[in-house]
Amino acid sequence: MPVKAIKTDSAVKPRSDLALANLRRRILSGAIAPGALLAESAMARELGVSRVPVREALFALEREGLVVFSDTGRAFVRQLSPRDFEELLQLRLTLEPMAARLAAAQIQPHLHALRTNIAATRRARSLAEVTRLDLEFHELILTASGNGRLLKLWRSMRGELELWLGRLHRQHQGQRLDTCEQTACAHEGLLKPFSSHNASLSESKMREHILNWREWLPLQSGQ
């Protein structure tokens, strides 16, 4: 055993991860407005790190869809139009039913996590929490599909979804607090065809579920 004392495994937090988490949180919470400039120097100063990790974080955020770069290399908080949201929905309507079909055959090991998620949804105390759990439920299905790339594609859209939903909720505070139970029920309904390993029914139910979900949303508003 080395004299050097205990090796703490690692637990070394890269500063770029710190910057990433910080910026992501502030963008999703709306603390940084859509369209705002994310200057490397300013962010670095705020976070007490150098520009290099900030730079990496910005690239990562671009991949998540939360940030866009101008042609001169400046980073801005992503702005979304209703059109953007429709595009995302179109993709969900293709990818998620596919995931549901694939997942039906091998859902067993994931059932516990799914049920836990539904229970947590019922106990959720805020719209933001319901949204997070909702997306998590869907991501669990994507995971269960067994197609790693499919999951990756979904994750690359998740940031944009959260961005849009967060802004939507902030514009309609207090409304639709019943979403909690509705979401839980809808997800429970999805679980049935999964449990019986019915692939084609899982697929069509998922498509229907996403279409319904779309109807619930207040669709107006821009940015």
Residues that bind DNA (CB under 7 A): 1-2, 10, 12, 14-16, 37-42, 44, 49-53, 55-56, 70, 72-75
Residues numbered 95-134 forming contacts with a second copy, rule: CB under 8 A: 95, 98, 102
Give min distance, CB of 65 to a second copy, in A.
Answer: 9
| 82 is a contact residue toward a second copy (CB under 8 A) | no
Q: Which stretch binds a second copy (CB under 8 A): 82-90, 111-119, 132-140, 177-185?
A: 82-90
CA distances to 151, 162, 169, 179 from 221, in Å? 29, 16, 11, 20
Coil/strand/helix, residue 76:
strand
Q: Least distance (Å) from DNA to the CB of residue 50? A: 3
Torsion of CA 93, 201, 165, 113, to 10 degrees: -130
Q: In the complex, what is the shortest distance from the CB of residue 63 to DNA, in angstroms, rounded to a whole number? A: 15
- The stretch near a second copy (CB under 8 A) out of 55-63, 113-121, 131-139, 182-190 is 55-63
Using alpha carbons only, give the angle 9, 13, 19 rounded to the nearest 5 degrees: 170
Write the CB contacts of 88 (distance below 8 Å, at least 6 apart in sequence).
Answer: 157, 160, 161, 164
* Residue 98 CB, nearest approach to a second copy (Å): 5
* Burial (0-12, 13-18, 19+ Cβ within 10 Å), 110: middle
Binding site for a second copy (CB under 8 A): 56, 59, 63, 84, 87-88, 90-91, 94-95, 98, 102, 147-150, 153, 156-157
